[in-house]
Amino acid sequence: MRYKSLFLLLLTFCINVFSFDEGFAKNNSINIAYRDYGPINATPILLVTGLGAQLTLWPEFLINDLQENNFRPIVFDNRDVGLSTRFSSQPSQTLNYLKYFMFIPINSEYTIEDMASDGIAVLDHLEIGSAHILGMSMGGMISQVLVAQHPQRAKSFTMISSTASTPNPFNGPKFKVTQQLLKRSAAKDDIEGRIDQSIKLFELIGTPGKNYNTPQFRKNMQAYIKRGGDDGGFLRQMAAIIGSKNREELLKSINTPTLIIHGNIDPLIKVKNAYSAKKLIQSSKLEIIEGMGHLLDEESYAKFQDKLIAFLAK
């Protein structure tokens, strides 16, 4: 009987950690796929993903750690990615590449502001008045707008590996990273080719020396690609980023308690962007993480895990 009770306790714990509710929030004609990990009585935290990233890219170790500290992680597919509403325009890779290096504005089908309103739609759908907001990379840009324009909806703001400036050849990614970002040559049905491209990108922007070309990584990426379908939204989201205006004045208006986290060797968004954001947001605290690139892996997370949880707990 004693062992049966222990088994039921463990089973309940596993269900609580790994179960979730999912559905769609509506922002006018746009459907936004979300996943609510619960528990429903914990403090909500909305996680906003980066360029081309589906909600399933949020690492399990982060979701579990937030839950274990009485937070309710809620994630969603940005528009044009994963199961959310997709768009149809076909941006020219070559033309956008040339415009980027010539400082010519790039037209986009939607804006960073539009994407921020999608996050609000998720909170509205779940009837959440306010939540902690955590955005990474492009998700940080989206979250800047969300927090600045809807301060009453944000308990706090955590920005990881992001920037207030529109990326350009002077403050943007290293040249070889930009090349890889704009190289989407594999056909949508060429799963292995797309996995190879993802590995190359992760090797460029992730933790130096980390081996991403493993059987488990390839298996995970295969499931990830099958869930999301074609990656046309990647280039359209990139156009939204490069076509956006600098948000420096917007950041000056943020009074929400803010934690800025950035890797000191980030090759995609240089660390100087974090120092700039710290100066702009008066209510902010800055944590520079030694040896961290642009991606959030378990080794990098361990270096700021306690500081993040302590910040959110305030």
Question: Is it the case that residue 290 has pLDDT exceeding 90?
Answer: yes
- pTM for the predicted model, two decimal places: 0.88
Which pLDDT band holds residue 262 (cuts at 50, 70, 90)?
very high
Question: What's the whole-number average pLDDT of the chain?
Answer: 88
Instruction: List the 43-48 sheet strands across, edge first.
Output: 21-27, 30-36, 71-76, 43-48, 131-136, 154-160, 258-263, 284-289
Domain, as residue range, for 168: 16-313
Assess if residue 4 is contained within a domain. Answer: no
Which pLDDT band holds residue 193 (cuts at 50, 70, 90)?
confident
Q: What is the CATH number of the domain that holds 178?
A: 3.40.50.1820
Assess if residue 39 is contained within a domain. Answer: yes
Assess if residue 6 is contained within a domain. Answer: no
Identify any residues that bridge with 159 across adjacent strands, giving them in sequence order.
135, 260
Tens digit of each residue's pLDDT (9 = 90 or more) over 291-310: 999 999 999 999 999 999 99
Assess if residue 96 is contained within a domain. Answer: yes
8-47 core/surface letters (b: 16 or more CB in 10 A; e: else): eeeeeeeeebeeeeeebbebeebbbbbbbbbeeeeebbbb
150-171 core/surface letters (b: 16 or more CB in 10 A; e: else): beebbbbbbbbbbbbbbbeeee
Question: Is it the case that residue 129 has pLDDT exceeding 80?
Answer: yes
Assess if residue 101 is contained within a domain. Answer: yes
Assess if residue 157 is contained within a domain. Answer: yes
Any idea how long the chain is?
314
Beta carbons within 10 angstroms of residue 281's beta carbon: 26
| Strands 43-48, 21-27: pairing kind | unpaired
**Tally of domains in the chain:** 1
Assess if residue 9 is contained within a domain. Answer: no
Regarding predicted confidence, which is higher, 94 or 262? Answer: 262
- Which amino acid makes up residue 5? S
Question: Is it the case that residue 197 has pLDDT exceeding 60?
Answer: yes
Tens digit of each residue's pLDDT (9 = 90 or more) over 83-109: 999 998 776 667 776 777 777 777 788
Question: Is the preceding omega at residue 39 within 30 degrees of 0, hence cis?
Answer: yes
Assess if residue 7 is contained within a domain. Answer: no
How far is 34 from 65, CA to CA, in rounded Å?
Answer: 19
Question: Is it the case that residue 244 has pLDDT exceeding 80?
Answer: yes
Q: Which helix (H) or strand (E) holds 33?
A: strand 30-36
Which pLDDT band holds residue 73 (cuts at 50, 70, 90)?
very high
